[in-house]
Chains A and B, each alone.
Chain A
Amino acid sequence: MKRILVSLLAFLSTFAYGDPFKGTASWQATGNPGMVKIDGEGGLVTGTVTRDGGKVAGTFECPLKDFQTGIDTRDHHMREKYLDTAKFPVAQLVLDPLAATGGDWTGKLTLKGVTKPVKGTAKITGSAVDATFSIQLADYPIGVPSFLGVTVAQDVTIHITGASSK
């Protein structure tokens, strides 16, 4: 009986909690004039990946304060002025089920307290996940990031890579 219960819990946990995921997130934005390329790197992603019937889904979280753009002043403005990471420390992405090998996907991104649908592409090889999607800054209460006449363009591309483990 005990063995059956343990097996059942293990089986259920596959659906309830999935496999833990660890990875990194980065993003790229462009500032104008000057086509300034702003790369945000260093975001650590944790979450769970669930597999069910040839489909993969997942939930991922990323602390926003970890992102660095290579310029301290810009990092400070990003955290304090635009993302307000003290009040909204984490971004969350919920991935709708997609094919186990990847492809186009849909999901929901919660950023600064606002949840919006997003869509992107993903490549899944075994336990490794490589996903890319874009957001429009206007969809979230971030404002228009600007510094001394250079303004960040609306579309920001986000890249998540990592792997799940049993």
Chain B
Amino acid sequence: MILLLLFLFSGVASAYPENIRHGYPSCTGCHVSPVGGGTLTPYGRGSSEAFISTWSVEHEGDFGYGALALPAGLALGGDLRGVAIVTQDNTNHLTSTYIPMQADVEAAVTLLPGLLVDGSAGLYGPERTAEYRRLYLKIDPLPGLSFRAGRFLPAYGINLPDHTTWVRRDLGFGEGRESNNVEAAWIGRRGEALATYRYGDDTTLRARAPGYQVRSQASGPLFRGALYLGSTTQVGASYQRVDHMESYGGFLQTGITTHGYLLTELDRRFDGQILDLALVKAGWEIAQGLMMTFQQEIKPDNLQTSIGLQWWPRPHWELLGEARRSYQDGTGTTTGVLMLHHYL
């Protein structure tokens, strides 16, 4: 069980799709990547001061708290993230552990106008495996149009920061599943469309096991398209066919005033048998920077309910407390999670 939890709670991404409630249907205002997560733009850092954190002072959200002025065209960052987990299984046996999830650095360098390199490297997971998770070249030939080639997590569904959710993990977008890809992305006023071809070389979960490095060579196309409805709603669909596995699904992300949000995703996976997956996540900001969350995940004979409190007290800091009740394959488990995240 502990080993399973180590895998489950070692996610790294920091995309926050709930910011759609503030009129951010796309990720590219705040992130270098068109699918979000990873290196922040100056605007993303400014946003952490303006409306994400409870308290802040000017330039507090800048890299290194603004102590180091970066030249134009260079964005630096990095994450330290750890989680403490307490689990009670159906025999009332209690287990607790602390997992260092992530200690990495990241950089995006603009080589020429419309041409940049973005990458990240560091230590990941309880084994502190040294890896580079992202390294890609991005070209923006026209406003809204970009091409990427390199190592990154392809676009599919809602880019939730929690890679352990079933709609991420069971569809090939869990921990360490960055792969070698080429991608074309168009982001317009009324919607976005991304087409990716995955060439494999993603690290599977088994790579976390000591002395057991496995690289998947799964390859195939992925598509993700979405329409922006009004200022705070995105509805879309995704498809992928990666070797023997195929999946498709729809998703909805919507803001409920500037305080609340609802994220839903439904997917069907084929790989010899059918697996249906559903996710509903909702949140309400009870004070600026303090978010109450509810999440329900469903798949056949499996159910997982989570309630949590997520707090961004000041720029660079995130604290997450969550209680989760799972019924998986006939086994009930209650889990308490406390995660601390600091970004540079």
Q: Which residues of B contact A149 (CB under 8 A)?
A: 41-43
B20-47 CB contacts (< 8 Å) to partner A: 22-30, 41-43, 45-46
Known contacts A71-B51, A148-B46; decide if A34 and B30 are in contact (CB<8 Å).
yes
Which residues on A sit within 8 Å (CB–CB) of B26?
A: 33-36
A66 touches B (CB below 8 Å): no
**For B29, what are the chain A residues with a Cβ–Cβ distance below 8 Å?**
31, 33-36, 150
**Interface hub of A148, A149, A150 (most chain B Cβ within 10 A):** A148
Q: How far is the CB of B233 from chain A (nearest CB, A)?
A: 10
Q: In whole Å, how far is A37's beta carbon from the nearest beta carbon of chain B?
A: 4
**Complex interface bits, A14-51 against B, C-beta within 8 A gives 1, otherwise 0:** 00000000000000101111111111000000000000
Q: A34-B26, A34-B30 are in contact. Are A147 and B188 (CB under 8 A)?
A: no
- Contact mask for chain A residues 116-153; partner B; CB cutoff 8 A; 1 contact, 0 none: 00000000000000000000000000000001111000
B232 lies within 8 A of chain A by Cβ: yes
Of all chain A residues, which has the CB nearest B30?
A34
Mark contacts of A69-93 with chain B using CB atoms, 8 A cut-off: 1 yes-contact digit, 0 otherwise.
0111110000000000000000000
A74 to B, closest residue via Cβ: B50
Which chain A residue shows the least CB distance to B146? A33
Number of A-B contacts (CB under 8 A): 69
The yes or no answer to B330 lying at the interface (CB within 8 A) is no
**Is B90 positioned at the interface, with any CB of A under 8 Å from its CB?**
no
Q: Give Cα A37 to B229, complex, Å.
A: 11
| Chain B residues touching A, majority SS | loop
Say whether B93 faces chain A, with CB atoms less than 8 Å apart: no
B187 close to chain A: CB less than 8 A: yes
Contact A70 B28 (CB under 8 A): no
Cα–Cα distance between A127 and B247 once the two chains are bound (Å): 54
Q: 1/0 per position for B277-316, CB-CB distance to A under 8 A?
A: 0000000000000000000000000000000000000000
Given contacts A148-B41, A150-B43, contact A35 B228 (CB under 8 A): yes
Rounded to whole angstroms, the CA-CA distance of A163 and B197 in the bound complex is 55
The interface size bin for chain A is 20 to 34
Contact of A34 among B28, B50, B51 (CB under 8 A): B28
Task: Mark B39-74 against chain A: 1 for CB-CB distance below 8 A, else 0.
Answer: 001110110011100000000000000000000000
Q: Is the Cβ of A36 less than 8 Å from the Cβ of B23?
A: yes
- In this complex, what residue of A is CB-closest to B42? A148
Give CA–CA (A32, B24) in the complex, Å: 11
Within 8 Å CB of B41, what residues of A? 148-149
Nearest A residue to B29 via CB reads: A34
Q: Is the CB of B42 within 8 A of A39?
A: no
Q: How far is the CB of A114 from chain B (nearest CB, A)?
A: 27
Asked if A39 and B43 sit within 8 Å, CB to CB, the answer is no
Chain B proximity of A165: nearest CB distance (Å)? 30
B143 on interface, CB distance cutoff 8 Å: yes
Contact of B24 among A34, A74, A147 (CB under 8 A): A34
Chain A residues contacting B144 (CB-CB under 8 Å) are 32-33, 35
B23 touches A70 (CB 8 A): yes
The docked-state distance in angstroms from the alpha carbon of A68 to that of B25 is 19
CB distance from B29 to the nearest CB of A (A): 2
- Among residues of B, the one whose C-beta sits closest to the C-beta of A153 is B189
Give the most central of B43, B143, B192: most A CB within 10 Å: B43
| Cβ B27 vs Cβ A34 within 8 A | yes
Which residues from chain B sit less than 8 Å from chain A, CB to CB?
A: 22-30, 41-43, 45-46, 49-51, 143-144, 187-189, 192, 228, 230-232, 258
9 A–B contacts, CB within 8 A, in A order: A28-B231, A34-B26, A35-B144, A35-B188, A37-B231, A38-B23, A70-B258, A147-B46, A148-B46
8 smallest beta-carbon distances between A and B, as pairs: A34-B29, A37-B231, A37-B23, A148-B42, A73-B50, A148-B43, A148-B46, A34-B28
Q: A35-B26, A70-B23, A70-B258 are in contact. List 18 more A-B contacts (CB 8 A).
A: A31-B29, A33-B28, A33-B143, A33-B187, A34-B43, A36-B29, A37-B25, A37-B230, A37-B231, A37-B232, A70-B51, A71-B22, A71-B50, A72-B51, A74-B50, A147-B46, A149-B41, A149-B42
